[in-house]
Amino acid sequence: MKTIAKIIIISFAIIAMGGSCNEDIVKNKKGLVRDFSGLDGCGLLIELDDGKTIQPFEIIPEFTLKEGQRVKLSYSLMKEVGSTCMKGDIVKIVKIREIN
């Protein structure tokens, strides 16, 4: 009986991990990096060309955001993460590059 319980628990864990791998990714958005450190809990955010603002929570390590930088990016929403900054959705940036 203990073996069956372990198999069930492991199966649920695998299914849960698989769900997080199938994130909805918003692709090929362009925007401007802006410094919102004047707002409580905020820092560098990205204002997308469509008017939406996003909070980068995770970003690929080889890229550094800078105030005034134009970027093209792909991201996924991080609904399970909270923030004290009340401006924009919290996101994981999966692809980003600087553009003119």
- Domains parsed from the chain with CATH numbers: 25-98 (2.40.50.500)
What are 29-75's pLDDT values in tens digits?
Answer: 999 999 999 998 999 999 999 999 999 999 998 999 999 999 999 99
Q: Which residues are CB-neighbours of 36 under 8 A, at least 6 positions away? A: 42, 43, 44, 45, 85, 87
53, HSE (Cβ side, Cα atoms, 13 Å): 13
Residues making up the chain, counted from first to last: 100
pLDDT at 8: 56
Average pLDDT of every residue of the chain: 85
Q: Do residues 31 and 49 make contact, with C-beta atoms less than 8 angstroms apart?
A: yes
